[in-house]
Amino acid sequence: MTQRAKTDVGDPGPGGRPVPATAHRGLTASEVAARVAAGEVNDVPVRSSRSAAEIVRANVFTRFNAIIGVLFLIILIVGPLQDGLFGFVIVANTGIGIVQELRAKKTLDNLAVIGEARPTVRRDGTAAEIPTAEVVLGDVIELGPGDKVIVDGKVLEADGMEVDESLLTGEADPVLKRPGEPMMSGSFVVAGGGAFTATKVGREAYAAQLAEEASRFTLVHSELRSGISRILTYVTWMMIPTALGLIFSHLFTLHMAGDDAVRRMVAGIVPMVPEGLVLLTSVAFAIGVVRLGRKQCLVQELPAIEGLARVDVVCLDKTGTLTEGGMDVSALRPLNGADEGRLRQVLGALGASDPRPNASLQAIIEAFPPDDAWRRTASLPFSSARKYSGATLDDPQGERATWLLGAPDVLLPPGDPALAETAGLNSQGLRVLLLARSDRELEDPSVAHGVRPAALVVLDQRLRPDAHATLSYFADQNVAAKVISGDNAVSVGAVAARLGLPGADAPVDARELPDGTDAMAGALEDGAVFGRVTPRQKRDMVAALQSRGHHVAMTGDGVNDVLALKDADIGVAMGSGSEATRAVAQIVLLTNSFATLPSVVAEGRRVIGNITRVATLFLTKTVYSVLLAILVSCWQIPYPYLPRHLTLLSTLTIGVPAFFLALAPNKERARPHFVRRVMRYAIPSGLIVGTAAFLTYLLARHHYAGPNALAAETSAATLTLFLAAMWVLVIIARPYTWWRIGLVAAMAAGFLIVLVTPWLQRFFELRLVGRTLPWAAVGIAVVAAALLELAWRWARRTLR
């Protein structure tokens, strides 16, 4: 798309472009002002994220904050305050979550302004760009290839304008638009250009509302989030009978005092709540957004970060991804004795006939300046589906002819001598276009049949300097890269080979691919480079790969990529790409650098890999809490812990370590079945830890006697619980680095400080009595650690 100037409403500014005298001049400044005063503006709110109030509400008013809040109030009533420490932890966690999400919101909002579509509007005879929200009823809006229709309207001018309405109607075939026909917001132009007048703006344009909803930053399906929600639902249902069982056994069976029974019940319920798990998930996503935002990567749907972590196939469009947008004409090769001077004039006239030239035609315009003596009488814009463009031209002598410019292997029949020369050039990685003359009218559907070849236009493609390193990264990460292009397969293969892509030496012509999904999937898994792919085929190829269980990412910048981007698991668009591609993609690379993509993949793997790790810590605590509550109810004995004990243990073995582990580097590719993977180790580890702590508690009840026996029993059981839970942390923290070892050591030192500091002993009511039981507690913890190791190995083996 040609570069356009940016301006404010009603003021085209110095960069405004005058409108031709024969075209619609648009509204006047006074008419615009009247419509703004009447409220006839395109005021559909486009939000890049939740509002600040929604973020605060979502973090504060949660199911578990309500539960913890009620329990905290109960402790404030029955006291002492140290048993209510868990309440302050929740406040701190909620505050951290709000701050991080607000940071992410600021980043997203700033990036969204940069990537916002700015339509070209005619006012007072001048065309200039304005923000989408400032379009008013009756505005005349210009359109070109790749432009998205932002409001409903009626066509005023059309120059071979073809519109894709598939995102609204499901019909994939482009619709040729003529003056007077309706335009639907949410559709986009695939060929040609024109202008239309806005007949419905703002909320009146229903399709515009659908487009705004589709491009808003949303929390779409995420296995991570849905898995955590499912786990929290299970926990909620377990808490109710557990709480009733604990309170009844302490009050009516053990005949404990009411305040003491309540404290023990709260102690049994609070650790069941994996309150930090939801927080850490939100924080990890938010920090991921901020990190990617610093690299000018706009994440339009937050779970896209997670989705890229699961990707095992990335489909790349050659043009704009592996190669830069610009091209250079390296040679003009006349065919069949054609006059080179006349061919240069024809090419110059063809270039001048298209008001919105693509990269190939722009290179031709730069190489062959137009001659004003040539006149265009009709034109056919380039389309990705037909692979050629054309024009009917009158030369200076008045002779009229139809000329076509496009792919040689599409315009020429098999076996034509020119194809052999084309193949040789393609094998060098060069792009070749055929200039041919047709004896048919340009409007004839068979205009490309029986053409007379006149010349080969050889274009040199500029490779992106970062493409080789990016492809190497995907190869190292076991992510298969598939180059899917509309260009000649041999040429695409040569470009890919220059970048070191494995399998580039065997390019496949997509016209020879089988039609069946399963057969196509097999060919796609075997090949790496595919040429002459139509837009519909791109979408079919994505579906075929998905049918084999692959998670597919699709990159692109042109309108021919829109359908595939929409259907891929993750769509990645370039910031300089068409408005349509940016609207349907989940991730937009505003710097247009393909090299940013590895950072997005790495960020996704960090998020999901680390959340899977820390979820195991949180759910181990939930499992052993439920087990302890069941065991003490069955044995009809007091719950061994007070809330302050479990707050201390949760902070040292889960809360603080989980925060650091959730933000650590992690390159492991995400695997499916999040809940199953987490619970495969959390359940056995929770059972082992809970059983070890309960055994120590039973031994202590037989060993200690006297008025302070319960405190001594609790201290011994707390020691076993801490050591066993610490070993879970030791396992989860692998592989070890200096900071991970330091983190584990710091948590162990924190507990040791509590045990040896008198005022902390009194505050937490922890004091080891004698030597026999403390060493027995350590011994039981050592046995538990050995069982935890066995359980970890079993879980890893079965999950493989």
Q: Return the active site residues.
A: 317
Tokens 């047709």 sit at which residue? 438
In degrees and rounded to multiples of 5, residue 639 shows phi and psi of -65, 130
How many Å separate Cα 440 from the centre of its chain?
48
Give residues with Cβ within 8 angstroms of 52, minimum separation 6: 102, 105
- Listed in sequence order, the residues at least 6 apart from 423 whose beta carbon sits closer than 8 Å to its beta carbon are 490
- Give the tokens for residue 548: 């084999």
A 10 A CB-CB count for 214 gives 14
Helix-then-strand count for the chain, H and E: 28, 22
Check if the beta carbon of residue 556 is closer than 8 Å to that of residue 573: yes
Q: 738: buried, middle or exposed (CB in 10 Å: 19+, 13-18, 0-12)?
A: exposed
Distance of alpha carbon 14 from alpha carbon 9, whole angstroms: 14
Query: CA–CA separation, 607 vs 74, rounded Å?
Result: 36
**What is the C-alpha to C-alpha distance for residues 92 and 481, in angstroms, rounded to an integer?**
44
Whether the Cβ atoms of residue 315 and residue 482 lie closer than 8 Å to each other: yes
3-state secondary structure 507-558: CEEHHHCCCCHHHHHHHHHHCCEEECCCHHHHHHHHHHHHHCCCCEEEEECC
Tokens 């209510």 sit at which residue?
Answer: 84
- H/E stretch holding 330 reads strand 323-334
What six digits make up the tokens of 394? 């009158």
Task: Give yes or no for a contact between 40 and 136, defined as CB atoms under 8 angstroms apart.
Answer: yes
